[in-house]
Structures are given as C-alpha cells and as structure tokens.
Amino acid sequence: MSEGPEGVRDRATVRLGVPTLTAMVVGSMVGAGVFSLPATFAAETGVLGAIIAWAIAGVGMLMLALAFQTLAVRRPQLDAGVYAYAKAGFGELIGFFSAFGYWASACVGNVTYWVLIMSTLGAVFPVLGDGDTPLAFALSSAGLWVFFLLVRRGVREAAAVNRIVTVAKLVPIVVAVLLSLFVLDPAVFAENLLGAGDAGTLFEQVQGTMLVTVFVFLGVEGASVYSRHARRRQDVGRATVLGFLAVFSVFASVTIVSYGVLPAAELAELRQPSLAGVLEAAVGGWGAVLVSAGLIVAVLGAYLAWTLMAAEVVFVAAKDHDMPRFLARSNARDVPVGALLSSTVLAQAVLVVAMTAVDAFDFALNLTSALALVPFLFAAGYLVRVAVADGGGIRRRDLVIGVLATAYVLFLLVGAGLTYLLVSLIVQVPAVALFLVARREQGRRLLSRSEWVVLLVATAGAVVGIAGLAGGWIIL
C-alpha cells in the first residue's frame, strides 16, 4: 500500500452501522459506574434527592446527546466529536486541550475498571484487597497490555466483540433490578426518602451526586468520537440518542430500587461493587455472585470500548497536526497503533498514581469526570455558535439545545468544585509539549498571542493545584 506524506498508509476506513455504534455508546457507558451506584448515592442522598439528581442528569445529558446528534448533522465534515468541535469553535490550542483532556479522561477511567475488577475479586481473594495491593497492581497492569494486544488486531474485530459483550453485560443488571423490585420493602423505601439524618440539605445532597452522574454517563459521545467509521452521518446521531435512552433507564432503576432493599446507612457502607451487596441482601449469596460476574463482563467490555475511543481521539488530532505525527500511525487493520500504545502507557502511569491515593477508585472516578467536563463544555458551546452563525438566521432548536447543554456542564463544573479541575490542569499543562512538537514539525509559530494567554491561565491553575497538593488542602 502507498504511504502518505506523513508515513500513514492510505487505506479504506472500517465502516460501522447503527447497531454497532449504539453498542459503542452503551458499551462505554455501562461499565464500573453502574455497579457502584447504590452505595455512592446512599452516601449522599435519599430517594427524593436521587430522583431529583437523575432528573437533572437525565435532562442535562439528553441535551448533550442531542447536541452531539445535531452537530453530527450540521457539521458532517468534523470527525472525532469533542476534539473536532472544540477546535472548530475555539481554536487549535483549545482543541488540543479538549483532545488531551478527553484522552486522559478515558485512560484514567480505564484505571477505575481494573481497580473495581480487583476489588470485586478481593471479596474472594483477600490478597487483592480493595484493588490497591501489589498483586492487584500487577494483575491490572497485565490486563492493560493484554487488551492492547487485542485491540491491535483490528477495529472491526474489537467492535464486534464489544457488541456481543454489551448485550451480555446488560442481562445481569436487568435481572438485578427485577429481583430487587420483587423483594422491595415499602417501609424501608419510605424510611429512605430523605436519606440518612446527617445528609445535609436537599440541595447539598443533589450536588454531592453530580460527579457520579457525570462518570456513569461518560460515553454518551461514543458514536460521535467514532464518526469517521459511520456508514452514514445520520447514524451517529441515532446511535447517540438510542444509547443514552437505554442506559439512562438502567442507571436510574438500579439506584432507586436499591433504596427498597436496605436502609440508606447500610447501603452507604456496602463494599464496592455495592450492587452485589444489594442483591445478596435481596436473594442471598448467589445474587452477589451473579452481579460480580456481570461486573467483570461489563467492565471488560467498557474497557474495550474506551480503549478504542481514547486512541481514536488522539489519532484524529494527530492527523489534524495538533499532536505529534507518530500518533497518526495506523496499521493494515485500521488500528491507530501509535495512539493505542500511548493510551496504554498513560493508563499504566495513572494506575501507579492511583495505587498511592487514599481511595484508588474514588480518585480515578472523580478525576475522570473532571477531565471530561471541559471537552463537553466546548462541544456544547460550539453548538451555540453554530446555531447563531449558520446562514438563514438563528436555528432556535439548536440554540436551545446548545444553551441548555452548556448550562448543564457549567453547573457540573461549579458543583464539582475546584479540586479535581486544578488536578486535571496539573495533568494537562505539561502535555502542551505535544502540541508544541506538532507545531515544530510543521515549521509553524509555536503559539499565537491568544494561545499564550490561554496557556498562562491554565498554567496558573496548575501551579495552584500543585501548591494545594504540597500544602495538604488538596488530598487525593
């Protein structure tokens, strides 16, 4: 095959239809998060707060899903979703920050999967602890590289495996919901309406769940990220909305029915994956085994989907000259091997850091959410610009969706607080070196005046984050 000017082979791109793209969305969203929902929500709020939180998250994430659907139609030439939209709307450096932030979010999120798998197995093999022991670290590291070799075999093969696994992992979750609903105790459910006595105000309770809802909904943009592989551009939007609606119903059901099985205080103290504890209380030990087996299948499937998506974003950014050209290499099976290898190396580095955190799972979960919020913000903001700037006057529907999606992400950023946003800047600012290498490879000026301003603001945030870690007021 012929080589392009950057050493990238010219070959036909693998094409995927609505079912496979929808499975990419569902597969990336249904992972570690859904199995941790009962304890995570019960620690923050009761039934009423959970319903309000899911209503806010559902509307907000639906707006984001519709934003990705609309942009897929309005700007069909833009591939890789969040990165491409940020770059088109706000410039190359912002596009780079979105690409790297999204990539880092995916890699950090992948670490939560291995931590949770090891924590689940730790219930049977105590030497694995809560997924943070030396043996758990060694096994998680081995898993990272086994999946690297699997995905390297081909995009079509990996996507087909993801489609099968997506169906397989939904079965135990749906069974768990139905069984919990069957044994639901109305008295326990009523006692849990307002949560534990020290849960705080209703607003504080809802605010405490926001990063969790972000984490479990990450992946709603999955079809958009993989848009260059879509058979038709309309398929991207359809897959996004179908995947979101399916997953939202599952997440909300898992959370609400759990309040009818155990008191909120007991739910909050359950070992992760807490859904296993809920089903054990409902039907006995075999219920915990069912959920634990389902978790491992679900997590491995989500890991596969996110590995594909993480590599895809970096690959397209490198093809657009916003990342070094070595990340634009792909093999004969249309796998971006340079980006895939870099994703695995980054995940390995994050795994090392997570092992030193007070709570490895919570650390990775919150950092994943914080890293993803800024790319989401720029994607939603770009739809606002498109709605206003397109010829023929303002598109009111698009503007409403864009404004609501933007407002939702801003609400999440405020609710999350500064801690993880500052920590995410510590990760992102040094990565600008990759952007500068890409500029040098093209013989271009390293940064424009406006880009210097953006970098200086980001650097100031990173410095504050480092000071917080050193001073002890930021604790991972």
Cα distance between the two ends of the chain:
49
| Degrees to nearest 5, angle at CA 458 with 60 and 403 | 25
Mean pLDDT computed over every residue of the chain: 75
Residue 298 phi/psi, 5-degree rounding, is -65, -45
364 and 111 Cβ atoms separated by less than 8 Å: yes
Q: Is residue 456 part of a domain?
A: no
Q: Is residue 202 part of a domain?
A: yes
425 and 458 Cβ atoms separated by less than 8 Å: yes
Q: Is residue 464 part of a domain?
A: no
Estimate to the nearest angstrom the gap between the alpha carbon of 389 and the chain centroid.
Answer: 30
Instruction: Give the helix ranges, DSSP H, for 284-322.
Output: 285-319
pLDDT tens-place string over residues 177-229 = 887 778 777 887 888 777 665 656 776 777 667 667 766 666 666 555 555 55
- Res. 7: pLDDT tops 50: no
pLDDT tens-place string over residues 162-174 = 666 666 667 777 7
267 and 258 Cβ atoms separated by less than 8 Å: yes
Residue 142 phi/psi, 5-degree rounding, is -60, -40
- Res. 389: pLDDT tops 60: yes
Average pLDDT over residues 385-414: 79
Average pLDDT over residues 289-297: 76
Which band of pLDDT confidence, cut at 50, 70 and 90, is reported for residue 256?
Answer: confident
The residue that leads in pLDDT, 6 or 79, is 79
- Res. 27: pLDDT tops 80: no
Q: Tokens 């939209």 belong to which residue?
A: 85
Which band of pLDDT confidence, cut at 50, 70 and 90, is reported for residue 105?
Answer: confident
Instruction: Give the helix ranges, DSSP H, for 183-284.
Output: 186-191, 202-208, 210-217, 222-225, 233-258, 264-268, 274-283
343: containing domain: 18-410
Rounded Cα distance, 90 and 378, in Å: 8
pLDDT tens-place string over residues 406-436 = 888 887 777 666 776 787 788 888 888 888 9
Q: Give burial (CB, 10 Å; 0-12/13-18/19+) of 149.
A: exposed
Closest CA to 421 of 376, 356, 366: 366
Closest CA to 29 of 177, 248, 278, 237: 248
Rounded Cα distance, 285 and 267, in Å: 16
Q: Give burial (CB, 10 Å; 0-12/13-18/19+) of 464.
A: middle
Q: Is residue 37 part of a domain?
A: yes
Which band of pLDDT confidence, cut at 50, 70 and 90, is reported for residue 456?
Answer: very high
Q: Quote the tokens at residue 163.
A: 């489609």
Q: Is residue 7 part of a domain?
A: no
Average pLDDT over residues 342-370: 71
Q: Is residue 79 part of a domain?
A: yes
What was the pLDDT predicted at 159? 58
pLDDT tens-place string over residues 268-286 = 777 777 787 788 877 777 7
Residue 230 phi/psi, 5-degree rounding, is -70, 140
What was the pLDDT predicted at 449? 87
What was the pLDDT predicted at 166? 66
Rounded Cα distance, 52 and 240, in Å: 23
- Res. 472: pLDDT tops 80: no
- Give the CATH number of the domain where residue 365 resides: 1.20.1740.10
Q: Is residue 461 part of a domain?
A: no
What was the pLDDT predicted at 2? 34
Q: How many domains does the chain have?
A: 1
Q: Is residue 13 part of a domain?
A: no
What was the pLDDT predicted at 222? 55
The helix/strand/coil state of 393 is coil
| Peptide bond just before 273 cis, omega within 30 deg | yes
